[in-house]
Amino acid sequence: MSAGRHRSDEGPKVIKLKIMIDKNRNRVIFAESDHEFIDALFSFLTLPLGTVLRLLEKDMVQLGSISRVYASVYSLEPRFLRTSYCKSMLIMPRNASEVQCEKLKLNVDYSENAGKLFVCNSYSPRCKNIFSISQNTQCFRCNRLTQFDRKINEKEEKRSCRGESVVEVFLKGGAASFMITDDLQVMPASTARLTSLFGKLGVSDKSEIEAKTVEVGTDEVLQLLKFSLLSKTALTNMVLNSQGSWLKDISKYEDNQTAKLDKKTMSQNTNSMSLKLIVSKSKKKVLYAEAGVKLVDFLFSFLVFPLGAVVKHLGGNSRLGCIDNLYKGAVELSSENYIKSEECKNMLLSPKLFPHSGFDSHILEVEEEYPKYRYDDSGCIELARNTNKSEGSSIVNEEEASDLAINILDPKSPTGETIKGEGYLKGPATFMIMDNLLVTPFSPTAIITQLNQMKVSTSDVEERTVTVGKDEVCTPST
């Protein structure tokens, strides 16, 4: 783990992983691990897409058209946004499970603001319970900025294992041993599963198997995140560094048939939006689309979607490397024996958006997380999970006379107050959406340049209006 990912008072952390290698084929057969490494793997499902792209930016990782959406937000001028923090919410989105992920031994998404709320420096009793998820949000009661951070505390749950105190995140901290296949299938270790795996892979000559112990730090987990999205041999790529093999898997990802949406994941949501397509009549090809604030808000909001929510809405068929297998592993592990609680399982299989990250007109029904925060006179903030969103607000009732219910300011609002249904962009405005989902503000000059580059005359152009609903949204693009 690189020094830049640690607080200054911490040293590098590693997890020892037992690996079984097929020397003949130069591949990892499986890895053996306890709960700590599985927790790190499962935490991938809680990461918003914008976070994944930010973490892998230095490796120039492209995840289909969503990478162009990320680039569009990154280059968007502040005048199109409701507040200056809106861009940060999209390209550096916070994880609804960040308080839990901070307890991971290997956490790839360490952030200075993770697990914090911010308060103004007013000593007025009226402001005592006003907090923001972002620094420098204007308090709507005193108009001062929220500049001072307060740490969110969750009651530490520890279990004794072999005489040692064990921190639990998503899995129970017992002595259970797990097998992780090369394509990230996670399963409790057993003779039957081991025999089945060897048979499936055609491993018969035990003399060609080598046992190896490797130390995995945060840098290696970050590489594993990359390979889990782009390859079907994630462990081999991480441990044996098989250069070039994962590039072949990317081409398979792009050539594969379009993933099918599992109809069981379809809700009764009837939200839809109109999109104006600009089409070349002679080429019978979409040149670009014109869209208003509502549709572009919706497109940008994919960046705050956790990976697990993406897999869920695609019925487990996201085609993102090994992520579907990882999701399936979390599905099959029972909360009775392995996962800490049903609540923890839901964090992985139905991860929610960070508070105020969504907007109410969204076609896909991904809930926002609205936990209960309690603030006492000693300055501590205590977290107690509560996924029921109140009407347009995250205000909760006082549970004890000595505690104050916390009002979370909406960082998308210039005044900090929550306005139901509002997104990130300031309207009215019109945008161009290219066929690869690159989004730019609408400009007549840019249109002429674009048509000239495409060698299309204005007389060859016509408009068509289409309706975008959940079926269209849940079709992955490459």
Per-residue confidence at 414, pLDDT binned at 50, 70, 90?
confident
Please give the pLDDT value at position 316.
Answer: 92
Identify whether 290 is part of a domain: yes
Highest-confidence segment of 240-249, 362-371, 420-429:
420-429
Per-residue confidence at 68, pLDDT binned at 50, 70, 90?
very high
Please give the pLDDT value at position 125.
Answer: 75
pLDDT of 387 > 60? The answer is: no
Question: Residue 274 contacts by C-beta under 8 Å, 6 or more apart in sequence?
Answer: 465, 466, 467, 468
Identify whether 77 is part of a domain: yes
Identify whether 159 is part of a domain: yes
Please give the pLDDT value at position 398.
Answer: 38
Identify whether 478 is part of a domain: no
Please give the pLDDT value at position 131.
Answer: 85
Per-residue confidence at 256, pLDDT binned at 50, 70, 90?
very low
Q: What is the average per-residue pLDDT within 456-465?
A: 91
Please give the pLDDT value at position 264.
Answer: 42
Q: Tell me: the pLDDT tens digits for 163-175?
A: 555 788 999 987 7
Q: What is the average per-residue pLDDT within 71-85?
A: 93
Per the model's pLDDT, the better-predicted residue between 286 and 372 turns out to be 286
> How far apart are the C-alpha atoms of 81 and 395, rounded to whole Å?
25
Per-residue confidence at 81, pLDDT binned at 50, 70, 90?
very high
Mean pLDDT for the chain? 80
pLDDT of 42 > 90? The answer is: yes
Backbone Cα Rg of the chain: 24
Lowest mean pLDDT among 24-33, 85-94, 401-410, 455-464: 401-410
pLDDT of 213 > 90? The answer is: yes
Domain residues for the domain of 131 are 3-473
Lowest mean pLDDT among 154-163, 205-214, 317-326: 154-163
Please give the pLDDT value at position 258.
Answer: 39
Per-residue confidence at 137, pLDDT binned at 50, 70, 90?
confident
Question: Residue 261 contacts by C-beta under 8 Å, 6 or more apart in sequence?
Answer: 313, 314, 315, 317, 471, 474, 475
Identify whether 424 is part of a domain: yes
Identify whether 35 is part of a domain: yes
Please give the pLDDT value at position 145.
Answer: 85
Q: What is the average per-residue pLDDT within 179-191?
A: 95
Instruction: Report H helices in 59-101.
Output: 66-74, 85-91, 98-101
Please give the pLDDT value at position 388.
Answer: 43
Please give the pLDDT value at position 393.
Answer: 42
To the nearest 10°, the Cα dihedral for 74, 80, 84, 87? -30
> How far apart are the C-alpha atoms of 300 and 440, rounded to whole Å?
12
DSSP string across 321-370:
TTHHHHHHHHHHS-TTTTBS-HHHHHHHHSPPBPTT-S-TT-SS--PBP-
> How far apart are the C-alpha atoms of 292 and 8, rounded to whole Å?
46
CB atoms within 10 A of CB 173: 21
pLDDT of 121 > 90? The answer is: no
Rounded to two decimals, what is the model's pTM?
A: 0.84
Highest-confidence segment of 100-114, 117-131, 139-153, 244-258:
100-114
Compute the C-alpha angle 143/146/151, nearest 5°.
Answer: 150
pLDDT of 261 > 70? The answer is: no
> How far apart are the C-alpha atoms of 33 and 186, rounded to whole Å?
10
Q: Decide if 46 contacts 351 (C-beta within 8 A).
A: yes
Task: List the structure tokens of 236.
Answer: 């081999």
Omega within 30 of 0 (cis) for the link into 93: no
The number of folded domains in the chain is: 1
Per-residue confidence at 382, pLDDT binned at 50, 70, 90?
confident
Please give the pLDDT value at position 319.
Answer: 87
Q: Tell me: the pLDDT tens digits for 92-117?
A: 999 999 989 999 999 999 777 888 88
Per-residue confidence at 6, pLDDT binned at 50, 70, 90?
very low
Q: What is the average per-residue pLDDT within 279-306?
A: 91
Please give the pLDDT value at position 246.
Answer: 41
Q: For residue 5, give the DSSP letter.
A: G
pLDDT of 257 > 80? The answer is: no
> How far apart are the C-alpha atoms of 436 and 442, rounded to whole Å?
16
Please give the pLDDT value at position 32.
Answer: 96
Please give the pLDDT value at position 402.
Answer: 42
